[in-house]
Amino acid sequence: MLCTGRLGGLAARASALLPGRARPGGLGAGLWAREVSTSWSPVGAAFNVKPQGFRLDLFGERQGLFGVPELSAPEGFRIAQENALRKSDLLVARACSTPPGPQTVLIFDELSDALCRVADLADFVKLAHPEPAFREAAEEACRSIGTVVEKLNTNVELYQSLQKLLADKKLVDSLDPETRRVAELFMFDFEISGIHLDKEKRKRAVDLNVKILDLSSRFLMGANFPNKIEKHLLPEHIHQNFVLAGEHVIVDGLHAEAPDDLVREAAYKIFLYPNAGQLRCLEELLSNRDLLAKLVGYSTYSHRALQGTIAKNPETVMEFLEKLSDKLSERTLKDFEMIRGMKMKLNPQNSELMPWDPPYYSGVIRAERYNIEPSLYCPFFSLGACMEGLSILFNELFGVSLYAEQTAKGEVWCDDVRKLAVVHESEGLLGYIYCDFLQRADKPHQDCHFTIRGGRLKEDGDYQLPVVVLMLNLPPSSRNSPTLLTPGMMENLFHEMGHAMHSMLGRTRYQHVTGTRCPTDFAEVPSILMEYFANDYRVVNQFARHYKTGQVFYAALDQIYHGKHPLRRSTTDILKETQEKFYGLPYVPNTAWQLRFSHLVGYGAKYYSYLMSRAVASMVWKECFLHDPFNRATGERYRREMLAHGGGREPMLMVQGK
């Protein structure tokens, strides 16, 4: 999943959960070569040892988060925010006074970068930092920057400075393709924000956008908030599977891979139990999105959200989902029959197939089907071994290696966070990946990629290195062994590393289209392609992947929620109806899965992107990597034709050139 660019407009382009280049006048690899540090250590060992804290720098000066000096304390967010806003004021004045030309686009991108570097970092910190003071300060920074962004997206004078460029055919024809596309993307952001409206309606659009930001933040927090139940209401023998707090059991997730059926059932019913406040928040979020879409000229929010994507409009999405559902229906029934048979075999007293069963029993089926011998093909992999395997794979495909780097005191938010340097054999240092992989209290139960800083060519000719965070929820190491991954965990790790490498391997001129900042239904292609590598025996000697039959249901539900308003019935009734049509397993009374559907925020009206990206990734895998998943020439071509461009090129052009 991507979590970045939620602000839209002059802040980063859409897409945690995505997005150098060999082209005339482009950025040659040699220009950006950086020396390899001798302080880097092997990646595998770094992830298989227990965190030792900051013992090497006990008395040193505390640095800020991600090395940003101001962020050594929560109050630093206010300073960083004020600095960004001062810089943005200067850049707006400069954009409005500069004659139209390529420099206009560079100024717009620098403006976008100044705001993103605070907003994107704060977007991560407000979710993941263990200290409430940091989370609250980051939340305030997000809201402040978000408000400014929405005002800039309706700033007529700023809009006119870009319009003068795009209205001059001679000037437009003189722009290189990437610069022209970035200019058009900025113009597109003005248009969907209501720049064409009168002053009063533009202010209304800004107010709605700010309200949507607030509601989105509230919904995300609520989607990850645990539920609790009195101990005596659960059988005592399953208490140990959950967190205990006095006389209560805390349930903070679905426990989908727990082997005990009762544990999974209890987690499902308790975690998904409806919350009235969360339900009101969702209804208000959907209603305000609909109001905004209609105000700026769209019939539904889905029509607005899908502008600029591969799908183009919700009609195409629903046609795609209906056809996919029809084609998968027979296979889905067979899958469920196999899962039902396995459940009957292992638990004949309770063999009815329920929604909490497929993830666990499909894993059991895979292990049995491929006759996995623990001594030869252990279904668990240490985190260090998986990271070393990823480094080897990236080295084979791209000439890239991953190295662990010691962090300074205050640079990371938890002592088990690891910092990786991504190093190319000839280009040198490409960027940094911070790996926040292990479970901890109050950490959201979602696997995400966050852009902290986008790559771009700076005015002084240097290249701004990208910085990202990968957030997973893996179990900590035990006294006797390092963190061990199930097949599902390993697949998620590969998926998120696909996002990270998309960010690392691009060398776009503009941060507005760097890495994963591209159309959402293309942004998931590199990450889903990595799942194919994760399930290829030549790469990890693992078994084949079970298709996620629920995804069509989730995507259809997302489209209906963002379709015509007012909704004809409650969001829970719509969930039940859609589940029966697209999924095939019964709705469980007194549950409200949609209230935990965090993708409704970052992927509102775009959840279908996983499925469309899977179709593209499948094609790329079969045509490029199926024969030899380690082929360097193919890897270089994949980088050159797809990864390098971020959002700076039309997705279909990249797919056709794969």
Residues 169-178 have pLDDT tens digits of 999 999 999 9
Residue 37 lies in a domain: no
**Last residue of a domain, which of 541, 568, 599?**
541
Q: What is the CA radius of gyration of the chain?
A: 24
Q: Residues 133, 109: one domain? A: yes
Residue 51 covered by a domain? no
Whole-number pLDDT of residue 214: 93
Task: Give CB contacts under 8 A, 24+ apart, made by 387-395.
Answer: 387/43, 387/44, 387/46, 387/47, 388/42, 388/43, 388/44, 389/539, 389/540, 390/493, 390/494, 390/497, 391/43, 391/44, 393/533, 393/539, 393/629, 393/630, 394/501, 395/425
Q: What pLDDT, on the 0 to 100 scale, is given for residue 327?
A: 86
Identify the band that residue 73 occupies on the pLDDT scale cut at 50, 70 and 90. very high
Whether 496 sits among the annotated catalytic residues: the reply is yes
pLDDT score recorded for residue 382: 83
Confidence (pLDDT) at 386? 87
pTM for the model stands at: 0.85
CB-neighbour burial class of residue 232 (10 A; exposed 0-12, middle 13-18, buried 19+): exposed
* The pLDDT value given to residue 9: 57
pLDDT given for residue 456 in this prediction? 95
Q: Is 129 a domain residue?
A: yes
User: Is 630 domain-assigned?
Assistant: no
Q: Which domain holds residue 190?
A: 63-218
Mean pLDDT, the chain, as a whole number? 86
Catalytic residue selected from 139, 496, 524, 641: 496
Residues 182 and 263 in one domain: no
Q: Is the pLDDT of residue 22 over 50?
A: no
* pLDDT 10s digits, 193-236: 999 999 999 999 999 999 999 999 999 989 989 999 999 999 99
Question: In this predicted model, what pLDDT tens digit does every residue of 501-534 receive, in sequence order?
Answer: 999 998 899 999 999 998 888 889 999 999 999 8
- The answer on 308 and 231 residing in a single domain is yes
Q: What is the CATH number for 493?
A: 3.40.390.10
Q: What is the pLDDT of residue 466?
A: 97
Q: Do 593 and 457 have their domain in common?
A: no
Whole-number Å distance between alpha carbons of 417 and 277: 33
249 and 135 in one domain? no
Please check whether residues 70 and 213 belong to one and the same domain.
yes
In the chain, the percentage of residues whose pLDDT exceeds 90 is: 63
Residue 163 counted as domain residue: yes
Does one domain contain both 233 and 270?
yes
Number of domains in the chain: 4
Indicate if 267 and 406 belong to the same structural domain. Answer: no
Please list the residues that pair with 451 across neighbouring strands. Answer: 468
Residue 648 pLDDT more than 90?
no
